[in-house]
Structure 1
């Protein structure tokens, strides 16, 4: 906590002023977190002073919100290219990232706990963003993107958190996920240069070769790069008390067809919603549970005991091999192929079709999805369309 206050003071995050008439400052509090390594051991203890941004009012003390979150498909694509091209890939962590953003709105906050003032009715006028402010992530991203663009990087339109710099045959790629940065490319000089520039402006922590990112474990081998979420998966099984359960060979029984049945409703639906939410995050590296998770996510509003049993079946499938994941071969070519399929009127509740697709970069699976179609296609309409297409 002392270290955090020193950083806030050096950063000139606020100035202590008299509270303006009619202004109610937002509150703040301390949040404590234990950062762990992939093996579960303690890496460091963190203390953060956070503002209670949920009390802010739009149009009064914040205008817009945005968080730089790179898409999972973009991460997989970049890692697949890195494996094929045998590029080095490094991870950077920005120290106190949200404290670097400059505020354009007037935001007042109460004095932090255990800090008092000799004058009554005083508060903190925030000059720079603070954790949990509604606009803090947007202001940090604005400052970072402005710096990267000034260094010659271009922001991609398909993913605003992906920055690319190409000069002749030299390529540099930078991914941003809030305050975590992945850096790769074929120019060692450019990687060293951008690291130095980022450190001058923000003070970064160079974590060297990418090994652990967003609960994703990255292993580098001579023939491939492997990705898994083993620790996340084991923690999920432990929290669900299913570490000793009998493993299942498939993520969902082929005879099971979920619908809004008449079985008893769950007494605590939050357990189901929390479980399905964590399964949705697991689909980042587990494409084979995507269909089952898509089916389960349709009944978040009123889950029943039968839905919960199917969710537990998926957990039993995870138990069969928690370390399963994706493999990006180094002996591949940049060739994209796609597979898709549809299940006509597959949803028993709405009679809508289910569509699924997946994209491969040669041997590497980089993107997939299962979703319910937004419209209903009737068989008679499809027949007329086919007849019209044949005649024309």
Structure 2
């Protein structure tokens, strides 16, 4: 891989992977080791979180197609080995989060993918790309499940800040680009169409009532959690990496060479 051609994105946004894509690997151990190391790397590289999450679903029976995408992630990492999260020293202590989902994004199970970014001021401190545990019957349901997961993470972060005796601005701002999900959160009456997500409804509404959260709309073009739910085009991917606050520590050296 040292002589490989670098890639601008970890996954091809036109590619469609499933459990049956490609031929089974005769020795899947190398694939599993790579996935394990990449999962560890996502602790500091949110830009590969979705790709690694997607490929980790195939560790039981990986194929040649899955392996090629893993190699593409390595080619992407080679393109910017010094890429990382920039933490601002003078940002405000306001928690801000973006929640998103890709409805029925998994072609094998039709489960949706949850993605979120949480910031303190302008600094990214928490993120997730994870397949939801159950099938959602609508995009609104998938978005609301993502909202509930994000709300739980925000609650944990507030406990952490309180334990550290750090004063922060309340409420936390939670942005969502699905109007139906926002309307469910503001509707005090449950009905048959929302009964199957009633627990999530109560959870999010309780956080809003207790002034822990404030739900706000955001347009899809400004949805920063989009990078955790699906593979993106190179231009969109680069744009979101910049908005996540990621920077390359070697960029100045490369520019001066």
Query: Which residue, out of 91, 94, 98, partners 1:335?
Result: 94
Instruction: State the partner residue of 2:42.
Output: 283
Distance in 2 between the 1:262 and 1:372 partners?
Answer: 19
Matched, 1:316 2:75: yes
Query: For the residues of structure 1 that align with 2:47 and 2:89, how far apart are their CA atoms?
Result: 23
The 5 Å alignment of 1:353-364 reads 353-364=112-123
Counterpart-to-counterpart distance in 2, 1:255 and 1:380: 21
Partner of 1:368: 127
* Contact 2:22–2:66 (8 Å) recurs in 1: no
2:87 is paired with a residue of what secondary structure?
strand
Give yes or no for the alignment of 1:267 onto 2:26. yes
Gaps of 5+ in 2: 145-179, 190-257
Equivalent residues of 2:111, 2:136 under 8 A apart: yes
Contact 2:106/2:113 (CA < 8 Å) preserved in 1? yes
Deviations 1:71-95 (A, max 9, x none): xxxxxxxxxxxxxxxxxxxxxxxxx
Native 8 Å contact 2:21 2:65 kept in 1: no
Shift of 1:330: 1.2
User: Which stretches of structure 1, 4 residues or longer, exceed 3 Å deviation after superposition?
Assistant: 379-382, 388-392
The counterpart of 2:103, out of the listed 344, 347, 361, is: 344
Question: In structure 2, what is the Cα distance between the partners aligned to 1:381 and 1:363?
Answer: 28
With normalisation by structure 2, the TM-score equals 0.54
| Structure-1 residue corresponding to 2:137 | 378
TM-score normalised by structure 1 residue count: 0.36
Between the two structures, name the one with larger relative contact order (CA 8 Å, sep ≥ 6): 2
Q: CA RMSD in A?
A: 2.4
Give the match for residue 299 of structure 1: 58
Per the alignment, residue 244 of structure 1 pairs with 3
Cα separation, partners in 2 of 1:332 and 1:259, compared to 1, 3 Å: same
Alpha-carbon deviation of 1:380? 10
SS at match of 2:14: coil
Q: Structure 2 matches for 1:1-392, cutoff 5 A? A: 242-379=1-138, 392=189
Counterparts in 2 of 1:312 and 1:379: CA distance versus 1, 3 Å: same
CA distance in 2, matches of 1:255, 1:339: 25
Q: Distance in 1 between matches of 2:22 and 2:89?
A: 50
Q: Shift in Å at residue 251 of structure 1?
A: 1.1
Alpha-carbon distance, 1:379 to partner: 3.2
In the alignment, the residues of structure 1 paired with residue 75 and residue 91 of structure 2 have an alpha-carbon distance, to the nearest angstrom, of: 34
- Label 1:265 to 1:325 Cα distance change in 2 as closer, same or farther (>3 A): same
Aligned pairs, number = 149
Structure (1 or 2) with the larger CA radius of gyration: 1
In structure 2, what is the Cα distance between the partners aligned to 1:300 and 1:249?
25
Distance 2:114 2:88 in 1: 28
Distance 1:292 1:341 in 2: 16
Q: Higher helix share goes to which structure?
A: 2
Q: Return the alpha-carbon distance in structure 2 between the equivalents of residues 333 and 288 of structure 1.
A: 24
Counterparts of 1:339 and 1:304 in 2: how far apart (Å)?
A: 34
